[in-house]
Structure 1
């Protein structure tokens, strides 16, 4: 009997600490526990816009790649929802009112780099963002609905109308990860890129917290 650990299991085990650290950052914990404001939430949505604009542009570039293509589906696309959320939250001139924070700029640059040159790196960021959205992200959306009185406007990013069963979708996604014919060295590189993605996420929350504090004393 084979004792080989599926790559999706290995990836989850090796990244669980970084994932937990990112989720536990003060900005997000405050937002989820009632300490953040509507403006804080809008700031988060704005940074997501820049990240997903880069990620989904990378998906378009990678759509013909035999390794990356199986992971790419319109059912995951978030950019139109983010644009609608920002119009609802900030008005028709929303695009003029948002700017990427320093970590977001570095995060976007990394996505653009690997999304043009390295399918494994693209998949690492794709996995980190979208499987997170289909897990804790759905919970975050529900909390924001309760906190700020949103129905669907303002939280469309967290609503996946085309994925009826997120758990089943994630199971298939992990099976696809297990099926990619990467050797041990490439698997290690992908794991390291997932860890880098979580680090970007952690640093982004730190940026958002610093911006929140500055705004509160201005």
Structure 2
């Protein structure tokens, strides 16, 4: 590969898939105020399945030379998602009823497959999720606070609040340095780029599955 930093290559080569996810009908309607809190709650439920897949293998991946540097406890989102869902449902009863959509199952299964068998591929999913949470995720947080009156950075939006990351801009710079230093060859880096594109497509598939038949009742 040329002298382009890998973090830059990853961003530019996946830009079209990233844009497709960002501009999905579900996300556009959610951010535009066309969907109700029920749609936000369902989305948060599906994220719980995705992040359980991302984080359940951290113990095994921590010592891996490729994925290990990205296993950083301050990023953990499952406890925050559970806290948000307890709030959004008025208690922990949602755990008995929550079920993944088929698109969510496919997304989580691919993450798990990479976590078990292909650490570099897991990094692609880690990147698309956590760096996105620290960036565009903050727009979702602000919108949710405004639309549904959630306390700023409080219950309902804690998933988007990284208490252990006091300086997100500096943190993201450090994260990109880790990507640039990924200890794999050029062929493997290209495979990671393709997995990153796949991750965004899986995310888009989830958004499509979440689209309500009637936005007015969502």
When the two structures are superposed, what TM-score results if normalisation uses the length of structure 2? 0.94
8 Å contact 1:62–1:69 — kept in the other structure? yes
1:61 Cα deviation after fit? 2.3
1:20 Cα deviation after fit? 0.6
Q: Distance in 2 between matches of 1:199 and 1:56?
A: 20
SS in 2 for 1:213: coil
Deviation sequence 1:145-190 (CA, Å, 0-9, x none): 1100011111110011110111110110110111112211100110
Q: Distance in 2 between matches of 1:149 and 1:60?
A: 37
Partner of 2:45: 46
SS in 1 for 2:129: helix
Partner of 1:156: 158
Gap regions ≥5 residues in structure 2? none
Return the structure number with greater helix share: 1
Partner of 2:17: 18
When the two structures are superposed, what TM-score results if normalisation uses the length of structure 1? 0.94
Alignment RMSD (CA, Å): 1.5
Count of aligned pairs: 214
1:59 Cα deviation after fit? 2.3
Gap regions ≥5 residues in structure 1? none
1:88 Cα deviation after fit? 0.5
8 Å contact 2:35–2:216 — kept in the other structure? no
Residues 1:182 and 2:184 are matched in the alignment: yes
Q: Distance in 2 between matches of 1:158 and 1:120?
A: 25
